[in-house]
């Protein structure tokens, strides 16, 4: 039999929705199909990411084509890269170097249930953004106060945060999410649970740009969370990854 293309466990993937984009054959496809800057591929390679995992193969084209996505894939299957890659591929010039209103201020927001997870996601961002001048903020009390200054705020490209921190900054009038184009809920089963739901809704409501693209990622999505997710997403594609028995 052919050798496995990745060190990841063998995966079975289903993708359902309208006009599902073709999966990636390899990370090289990003250059040929989507004109992704080669530098991003270099950063993948330097991070040891040689072949895309199942959720990356299917999820990345969906997000790059501007579609909403509900992604359900087991723990350890590379969900973080599946949503960060399309963000970095389409982010454009850093806000700090732009005079153009469309590339000003926070354009991508990733929400995670715990500070520790937000921290891990931020680290993953730093690997992928090597050599680029994007400002990627791990949101905390301290950063929240620096962002109270509009001049600082306008130069931020990406925020990674827990929902509660965002709500506090929004209520203080210290945050503008009206230019967010990529909104991600990681560990969506927890984010859409009653513990976080109201906060999450407040934040998603503030991401009011007409072309905000939303995605939820989770290892599991109980029926109730799934129903809420489907209500938030616009014409979504639902991708489910299961591990094959060995």
Contact region for ligand ADP (CB under 6 A) — 46-54, 60-68, 128-136, 224-232? 46-54
Nearer to ligand ADP, 53 or 204 (CB): 53
> In the bound complex, what is the minimum distance in angstroms from residue 196's beta carbon to ligand ADP?
18
Answer yes or no whether residue 88 interacts with ligand ADP by CB under 6 A.
Answer: no
Answer yes or no whether residue 79 interacts with Mg ion by CB under 5 A.
Answer: yes
Q: According to CB under 6 A, which one of 53, 161, 204, 218 is a site residue for ligand ADP?
A: 53
Dihedral angle sign, alpha carbons of residues 134, 127, 177, 146:
negative
Q: According to CB under 6 A, which one of 23, 30, 49, 159 is a site residue for ligand ADP?
A: 49
Reduced to 3 states (helix: H, G, I; strand: E, B; else coil), residue 240 is: strand
Residue 76 interacts with, from Mg ion, ligand ADP, none (CB under 5-8 Å by kind): ligand ADP
**Which H or E element spans position 223?**
helix 223-232
What is the rounded CA–CA span in Å between residue 120 and residue 80?
9
242, 12 contact by CB (below 8 A): yes
How many CA atoms lie less than 13 Å away from 188 in the CB half-sphere? 31
Q: According to CB under 6 A, which one of 18, 19, 35, 75 is a site residue for ligand ADP?
A: 75
């Amino acid at each position: 039999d052919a050798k496995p293309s990745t060190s990841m466990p063998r995966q079975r993937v289903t993708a359902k929705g309208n006009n599902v984009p073709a999966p990636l054959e390899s990370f090289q496809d990003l250059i040929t199909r989507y004109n992704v800057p080669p530098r991003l591929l270099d950063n993948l390679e330097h991070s040891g990411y040689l072949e895309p995992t199942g959720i990356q193969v299917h999820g990345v084209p969906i997000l790059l084509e501007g579609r909403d996505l509900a992604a359900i894939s087991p723990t350890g299957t590379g969900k973080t890269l599946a949503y960060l890659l399309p963000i970095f591929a389409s982010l454009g010039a850093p806000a700090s170097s732009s005079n153009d209103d469309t590339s000003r201020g926070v354009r991508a927001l990733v929400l995670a249930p715990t500070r520790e997870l937000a921290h891990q996601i931020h680290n993953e961002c730093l690997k992928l953004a090597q050599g680029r001048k994007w400002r990627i903020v791990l949101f905390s009390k301290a950063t929240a106060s620096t962002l109270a200054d509009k001049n600082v705020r306008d130069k931020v490209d990406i925020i990674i945060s827990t929902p509660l921190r965002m709500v506090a900054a929004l209520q203080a009038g210290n945050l503008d999410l009206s230019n967010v184009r990529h909104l991600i809920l990681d560990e969506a089963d927890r984010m859409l649970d009653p513990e976080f739901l109201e906060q999450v809704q407040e934040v998603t409501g503030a991401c009011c740009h007409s072309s905000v693209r939303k995605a939820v990622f989770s290892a599991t999505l109980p029926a109730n969370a799934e129903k809420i997710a489907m209500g938030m997403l616009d014409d979504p594609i639902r991708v489910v990854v299961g591990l094959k028995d060995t």
